[in-house]
């Protein structure tokens, strides 16, 4: 009777453990850009561009496209974000516009640099909602939105960024002294930082006594087996091997002692219940 | 009358027995040991509370908890303060070992030492058989094998977690003469080993010392330093028996 009971407890706990381990694992986030042609006036009036006329940006309207009737209905089927003429933004945001034009994203958009990815080169509209962009965002809000903004296209870089101090502190915990994507790369200049000199300059804005070795700290560290030609393949391999060894150590030690503790508990409970 | 009745309802049987019998107690840990243990305990709780919200920064409540601590920067200060306290606790132990060896001229390889011996391996083996109901409970000396592991694991942790922690504390300094990727390794080791230490302490250490049915709810020895004759004879039989041959020293160790 008594040994039955402890066996039952054992089986029950094991089943619970299996259940718990099966329940972990979340659904991947889905990024979708749903295009709607309805502009909500209430939300528009709460945004940064509240005071503006539609024609301030939709210059085509005032330029006479409208005088010939409704704009070409084919436009409905086009991706408005990609086809919009963003020179309109320049009139009021010359600094951002010019910075953007000198950055990697504009190079890729204009074809100066080949796009090595499946993502479109971002225009103003990929990163900002022209109609509903909230006004006067604080640094904390700007940081918080970046993971989503840059993450649409740079999923891997965002994921790795969130695995070390800067990302955890800035993006997840709202620490404004830590570094966000744009603190290192710039929002519009988009510096690649693959050259150590440029990276060092950036690090030194917050770590004034950083030396060039510091840039060898991988902000976007891959802890997987790298493709042979991948950048930092040697370091990735080193990190991967270390990760595997550490995991074996942690799982081995904890596994052994948890099992030890568990059967000890069963034995003690058994002794108690059966009075031996 | 009412009091004893109600206490016998609330307290486990062995505690009631302890209350009723005239207690003969002996010193197991001196003040130095107890203070260093207390320092370790408090500092490790501080270390875990201040930085686990960063490790699991995307978990529910991590942000709220961090804000309660005064932000990520403040949590970092608490973490580093706790690390210093932990270092002091460990140093106290090393000083004690030095004192035993250099002043008291004691060997640290004897049966009552915390240094592992072959007997610990056989004890573990026998204990496992005992769990399976196939052997007698092993007779332990002053320190059981799991107590030795608890103790030595602190130094193992101090070397790896403490060392990597210094690297993360002063990255610009260490990057002067080490390649930057070492900081990535340090971060990884720091985080994983901390997980190991925490996972060990919260389950294994807590259970072995406090939550086992025969010890529940708390094992006071490490806090009061005193062990009853009954517990001593049961849990550290070999040492107890050896002591019977040395009544003078036994009397010295008795709590008056």
DSSP string computed for B189-232 = HHHHHHHHHHHIIIIIIHIIIIISTTTTT---HHHH-EEEHHHH
Domain that holds residue A18: 1-22+230-276
Q: Residue window 103-132, chain B: list those with CB within 8 Å of chain A.
A: 127-128, 130-132
Report yes or no: B157 at the A interface, CB cutoff 8 Å.
no
Check if the beta carbon of residue A253 is closer than 8 Å to that of residue B198: no
Between A273 and A198, the higher pLDDT residue: A198
Q: Is the dihedral of CA B226, B230, B236, B242 positive or negative?
A: positive
Most confident listed range (A20-34, B3-17, B170-184):
B170-184
Does residue B18 form part of some domain? Answer: no
Instruction: Please spell the DSSP secondary structure of A241-259, one letter per residue.
Output: HHHHHHHHHHHHHHHHHHH
Distance (Å, whole) CA B214 – CA B221: 14
Contacts with A263 from chain B: Cβ below 8 Å: 128, 131-132
Where among A176, A193, A220 does a domain terminate? A220
Closest to A182 measured CA to CA, from A163, A205, A164: A205
Q: B118-131 and B145-157 are packed helices; what angle lies between their axes, rounded to 10 degrees? A: 120
Domain total in chain A? 2
| Tokens found for residue A158 | 């965002």
Q: Residue range A221-233: average pLDDT?
A: 87
CA-nearest of B205, B189, B192, B99 to B152 is B205
- DSSP code of B254? B
Highest mean pLDDT among B1-10, B78-87, B143-152: B78-87
- 8 Å CB contact of A213 and B175: yes
Mutation target among B130, B184, B186 for the A interface, most CBs of A within 10 A: B184
- pLDDT, one tens digit per residue, over B228-240 is 888 899 889 999 9
Inter-chain CB proximity B175 and A210 less than 8 Å = yes
pLDDT over threshold 90, residue B107: no
- The tokens for A108 are 């890729």
Task: Confirm whether B79 is domain-assigned.
Answer: yes
Alpha helices of A91-215 — where are they, by DSSP H?
94-101, 104-109, 124-127, 139-151, 155-161, 165-167, 181-185, 196-206
In this prediction, residues A93-99 reach a mean pLDDT of 94
In a domain, A47, yes or no: no
What CA–CA distance (Å, rounded) separates B222 from B208?
13
Q: What is the pLDDT of residue A32?
A: 40
Q: Where are the alpha helices (DSSP H) in B110-162?
A: 118-131, 145-157
Instruction: Spell out which residues of chain B touch residue A178, defining contact as CB-CB under 8 Å.
Output: 72
Number of domains in chain B: 1
pLDDT tens digits, residue range A152-203? 999 999 999 999 999 999 999 999 999 999 999 999 999 889 999 999 999 9
**Tokens standing for residue B85:** 């306290």
More confident residue, A72 or A4: A72
User: From the CA of A144, how many Å to the nearest CA of chain B?
Assistant: 12
Per-residue confidence (pLDDT) for residue A36, from 0 to 100: 66
Q: What is the 3-state secondary structure (H, E, C) of B80-113?
A: HHHHHHHHHHHHHHHHHHHHHHHHCCCCCCCCCC
Q: In chain B, which residue's Cα lies nearest the Cα of A266? A: B131
Do A153 and A173 fall within a single domain?
yes
- Separation CA B166–CA B147 (nearest Å): 28
B100 located within any domain: yes
**Quick check: B220 pLDDT over 90?**
no
**pLDDT surpasses 60 at A276:** no
Of A214, A254, A268, the CB nearest to B180: A214
Residue with the bigger pLDDT between A26 and B183: it is B183
Which of A195, A220, A245 is where one domain is finished?
Answer: A220
Q: What is the pLDDT of residue A84?
A: 86
**pLDDT top residue among B233 and B14:** B233
In this prediction, residue B208 carries a pLDDT of: 83
What Rg value do the Cα atoms of chain B yield, rounded?
22
The three state secondary structure string of A21-63 is HHHCCCCCCCCCCCCCCCCCHHHHHHCCCCCCCHHHHCHHHHH
Element (H, E) at A222: none
Both tokens of residue A117?
């990815």
Phi, psi of A136 (to 5 degrees): 45, 55
- Residues of chain B with C-beta less than 8 angstroms from the C-beta of A217: 171, 175, 180-181, 183-184
Residues belonging to chain A: 276
Instruction: Please tell me the distance from the alpha carbon of residue A268 to that of residue A275, in angstroms, as a whole number.
Output: 10
At A73 the pLDDT is: 67
Q: Are residues A211 and A98 in the same domain?
A: yes
Return the number of CB contacts < 8 Å for A and B: 130
Nearest to A218 among B128, B171, B184 (CB): B184
pLDDT tier at B217, thresholds 50, 70, 90: confident
Q: Which of A221, A156, A225, A254 is nearest to B186 (CA)?
A: A221
Kindly provide the b/e burial profile for residues B20-32, where b requires at least 16 CB atoms within 10 angstroms of the residue's own CB: eeeeebbebbeee
Q: Is residue B67 domain-resident?
A: yes
Instruction: Report residue B90's pLDDT band, with 50, 70 and 90 as the boundaries.
Output: very high
State mean pLDDT over A216-240.
90
Mean pLDDT lowest for which of A106-115, A181-190, B20-29, B146-155? B20-29
Tokens representing B177 are 């003469």
pLDDT at A77 over 90: no
| Residue A274 or residue B73, greater confidence | B73
Residues A137 and A187 in one domain: yes
Q: Is A240 part of any domain?
A: yes
A175 and A208 housed in the same domain = yes
Residues facing residue B228 across a β-bridge: B25
Q: Is residue B98 part of a domain?
A: yes
pLDDT at A230 (0 to 100):
84
Q: Which residues of B touch A173 (CB under 8 A)?
A: 53-54, 57, 62-63, 66, 71-72
Question: Which residue range is the domain that position B74 belongs to?
Answer: 31-106
For residues A205 and A270, state if they share a domain.
no
Say yes or no: A83 and A189 in one domain: yes
Range of lowest pLDDT (A121-130, A226-235, B36-45): A226-235
Mean pLDDT of chain A: 83
Using a pLDDT cut of 70, give the percent of chain B over it. 91
Is there a single domain that holds both residue A196 and residue A245? no
- B43 assigned to some structural domain: yes
Q: What is the pLDDT of residues B112-137, one digit of tens each?
A: 888 999 999 999 999 999 999 889 99
Q: Could you tell me if B65 and B256 are in contact, meaning their C-beta atoms sit under 8 angstroms apart?
A: no
- Are B205 and B144 contacting, i.e. CB atoms less than 8 angstroms apart? no
- Say how far apart CA B112 and CA A25 lie, in whole Å: 48
The answer to whether position A35 is within a domain reads no
- How many other C-beta atoms are found inside a 10 Å radius of the C-beta of residue B46? 17
pLDDT above 80 (res B4): no
Closest CA to B29 of B98, B83, B92: B92
Residue of B nearest to A176 (CA): B72
Q: What is the pLDDT of residue B14?
A: 61
In the predicted structure, residue A112 carries a pLDDT above the cut 80: yes
- pLDDT, residue B105, reads 87
Check residue B112 and give its pLDDT.
85
Q: Are residues A93 and A174 in the same domain?
A: yes
Q: What is the mean pLDDT of residues B38-51?
A: 95
Q: Is the pLDDT of residue A18 over 90?
A: no
Q: Measured at the alpha carbon of residue A245, what is the angle toward residues A239 and A246, in degrees to the nearest 5?
A: 85
Confidence of residue B184 (pLDDT cuts 50, 70, 90): very high
**Whose CA is closest to B185, among B199, B175, B176?**
B175
pLDDT of A125 strictly over 60: yes
Percent of residues, chain A, with pLDDT higher than 90: 54
- Is the confidence at residue A216, as pLDDT, over 50? yes
Same-domain pairing of A206 and A236:
no
Whether A177 is covered by a domain: the verdict is yes
For the entire predicted model, the pTM comes to 0.87
Whether omega before B217 lies within 30 degrees of 0, making that bond cis, reads: yes
Residue B234: strand, helix, or coil: helix
**A260/B179 touch (CB, cutoff 8 Å), yes or no:** no
- Separation CA A41–CA A65 (nearest Å): 23
Last-in-domain residue among A193, A220, A247: A220
Q: How many CB atoms lie within 10 A of CB A128?
A: 19
Q: B48 pLDDT exceeds 60?
A: yes
pLDDT of residue A21: 46
Q: Which of A168, A213, A214 lies closest to B54 in CB terms?
A: A168
| Nearest CA-CA partner of B83 in B155, B151, B158 | B158
* Same domain assignment for residues A247 and A160: no
Shared domain check, A268 and A179? no
Q: Are residues A91 and A166 in the same domain?
A: yes
Q: At what angle do helices B31-55 and B71-98 cross, to 10 degrees?
A: 150
Average pLDDT over residues A77-90: 85
In the DSSP assignment, the letter for residue A169 is I
Tokens 């089986």 -> residue: A11
pLDDT per position as a tens digit, B34-43: 999 999 999 9
């Amino acid at each position: 009777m008594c040994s039955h009971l402890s066996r039952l407890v054992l089986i029950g706990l094991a089943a619970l453990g299996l259940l718990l381990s099966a329940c972990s694992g979340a659904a991947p986030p889905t990024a979708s850009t749903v295009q709607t042609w309805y502009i909500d006036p209430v939300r528009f009036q709460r945004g940064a561009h509240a005071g503006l006329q539609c024609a301030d940006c939709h210059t085509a309207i005032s330029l006479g496209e409208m005088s010939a009737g409704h704009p070409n209905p084919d436009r409905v089927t086009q991706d408005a974000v990609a086809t919009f003429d963003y020179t309109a933004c320049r009139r009021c945001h010359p600094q951002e516009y010019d910075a953007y034009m000198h950055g990697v994203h504009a190079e890729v958009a204009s074809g100066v640099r080949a796009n090595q990815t499946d993502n479109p080169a971002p225009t103003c509209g990929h990163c900002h909602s022209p109609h509903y962009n909230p006004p006067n965002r604080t640094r904390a809000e700007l940081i918080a939105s970046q993971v989503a903004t840059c993450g649409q296209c740079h999923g891997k870089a965002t994921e790795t960024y969130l695995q070390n101090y800067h990302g955890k502190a800035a993006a997840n915990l709202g620490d404004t002294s830590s570094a966000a994507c744009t603190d290192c790369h710039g929002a519009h200049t988009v510096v690649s930082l693959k050259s150590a000199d440029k990276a060092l300059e950036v690090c030194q804005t917050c770590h004034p006594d950083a030396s060039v070795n510091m840039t060898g700290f991988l902000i976007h560290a891959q802890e997987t087996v790298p493709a042979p030609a991948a950048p930092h393949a040697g370091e990735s391999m080193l990190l991967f091997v270390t990760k595997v060894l550490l995991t074996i150590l942690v799982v081995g030690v904890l596994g052994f002692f948890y099992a030890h503790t568990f059967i000890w508990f069963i034995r003690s409970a058994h002794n108690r219940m059966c009075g031996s | 009358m009412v009091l004893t009745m109600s206490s016998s309802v609330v307290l486990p049987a062995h505690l009631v027995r302890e209350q009723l019998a005239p207690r003969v107690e002996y010193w197991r840990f001196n003040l130095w040991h107890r203070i260093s243990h207390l320092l370790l305990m408090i500092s490790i709780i501080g270390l875990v509370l201040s930085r686990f919200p960063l490790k699991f920064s995307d978990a529910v409540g991590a942000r709220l908890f961090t804000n309660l601590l005064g932000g990520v920067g403040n949590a970092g200060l608490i973490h580093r303060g706790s690390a210093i306290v932990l270092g002091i606790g460990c140093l106290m132990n090393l000083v004690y070992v030095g004192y035993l060896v250099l002043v008291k001229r004691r060997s640290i390889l004897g049966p009552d030492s915390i240094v592992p011996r072959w007997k610990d391996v056989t004890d573990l083996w026998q204990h496992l058989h005992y769990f399976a109901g196939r052997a007698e409970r092993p007779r332990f000396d002053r320190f059981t094998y799991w107590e030795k592991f608890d103790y030595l694991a602190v130094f193992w942790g101090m070397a790896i977690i403490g060392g990597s922690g210094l690297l993360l504390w002063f990255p610009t300094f260490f990057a002067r003469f080490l390649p930057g990727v070492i900081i990535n390794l340090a971060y990884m080791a720091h985080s994983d080993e901390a997980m190991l230490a925490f996972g060990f302490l919260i389950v294994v250490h807590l259970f072995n010392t406090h939550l086992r049915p025969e010890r529940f709810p708390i094992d006071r020895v490490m806090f009061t330093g005193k062990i009853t004759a009954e517990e001593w004879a049961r849990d550290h039989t070999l040492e107890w028996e050896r002591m019977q041959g040395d009544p003078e020293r036994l009397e010295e160790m008795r709590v008056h």
